[in-house]
Amino acid sequence: MKIETQAYTNFEVATIEKDTPVVSILLTADCFTDNTPHEVAVGMIYTDLLLSGAGEYSRDEFIYAINEIGANISISENEGKFTISVKTLAVNLKKTLKLLELMLVAPTFSVDESKRAIETTENALVLYKDDSRALAHDALCRAIYKKIDRHFSFTPEELISEIKLVSVTKIQSLHERFMNAYWTFSVGGNTKAIKESLNLIEKLKKSRLSIAPVLPESSQVELNERKLVFQSVNSKQNIDLSIGAPLPLTIEDADFPAFTFGLSVLGKWGGFAGRLMSIVREKEGLTYGIYAKTEGVTKTTTGYWRIMTFFAPKDTLKGVNSTLREIKKIHDDGITESECERFKNILKTGEVLVYDSLAGTVGFVHGAMLSGIGFVEYKKYRERLYTCTRKEVNQALKKYLDPNRLIISAAGPVEKVTKELKNIVKS
């Protein structure tokens, strides 16, 4: 497998060359301007309408044309960044790229489809009110960031009130912004597939004089104590929690690899190795899953750390107290030498597994570019992560993982435990 990256005037490219019958493509454009409920609502409708007809194709005809050749084209949005994902067989790549090009240069954006998309999106937002895990995370972000920041999440109610106001003109304007934005493009496949894909990108961007965006700095609130935020979702049996705090580090800061390493020891995301999983789940039996990670951290912006878990109402107080106890313990005492050596192997193995699939590798490399560093720089960061000393990790945890300055965000049948949670925050 050969991985290369290259930056041009109005787009950057990562190529993952591998002799394989499949092709995986990711294309991201950062279209963020202002963080308002209306701008977010426009973005939600746009992700639907971009796949709702192009050229002479109606929505049904366009989707059928994609499915007929066994391809998959989807679009998602996250904090003002729109990502198109394409997966297809190499033998059908030309047909797939033709459909992708048509979607980008001649989208229909019809009034009728706009009405359908508005109704569909509104229904999705109504259902979102029941997603306690997502709501807990959203509330955490609202407690960490100011409204002007792209990471600040608006409530479903705020977005529903704006959905009906989205016009086709606004969608067209957003699409023009997408086409003129600085693109991050990653493609994995054989040599021929990579060449054909790059030819399309060069063609689409040839007449566009876009440049890399000047992104706004992160705008976080100052946190000097524990804070509790909660949202009632009475249809749920369990209480979902996101516990975290602002992290004043960028990827390039010397302390970031050490802090990330220490946070993995506390609660490695997606695994059983972390202390929280072995103690709060396995030893105490209070939850099924509990993990920790950093989010929103790039080359130029700071982010936050968070722990994600859930507890039954009867176990919530015990669970939160146990989680806070483990945060305090690793903050005060740090990690052990054996944990330091063991997690170096765990983290190295985890990275190796990423390269098992083409799509996984494309996503991994693409994510590195979106964070503001190239793949070569990202590899250097990973090497720094693997060579952290116990002393460096413990110093970073002591400095940035403060058990007395964090936010507890809960969503679910919280009325049963609100008073007790408030007491925990005050303690």
Is the pLDDT at 30 greater than 80, yes or no? yes
Residue 332 pLDDT:
98
Position 349 confidence tier, pLDDT thresholds 50, 70, 90: confident
User: How far is residue 136's CA from residue 142's CA, in Å, rounded to a whole number?
Assistant: 10
State mean pLDDT over 318-346. Answer: 97
3-state SS, residue 4: strand
Q: What is the pLDDT of residues 60-113, one digit of tens each?
A: 999 999 999 999 999 999 999 999 999 999 999 999 999 999 999 999 999 999
User: How far is residue 150's CA from residue 246's CA, in Å, rounded to a whole number?
Assistant: 15
Maximum CA pair distance of the chain? 66
Question: Given this structure, which CATH class describes domain 2-205?
Answer: alpha beta
The two three-digit tokens of residue 90, written as one number: 């190499």
Q: What is the pLDDT of residues 205-252, one digit of tens each?
A: 987 766 555 555 668 988 989 999 999 999 999 999 999 999 999 999
Domain extents in the chain: 2-205, 227-426
Cβ atoms of 144 and 304 within 8 Å: the answer is yes
Q: What is the pLDDT of residues 297-309, one digit of tens each?
A: 999 899 999 999 9
Q: Answer whether 2-205 and 227-426 agree in fold.
A: yes
State mean pLDDT over 155-161. Answer: 97
CATH code for the part of the protein at 227-426:
3.30.830.10
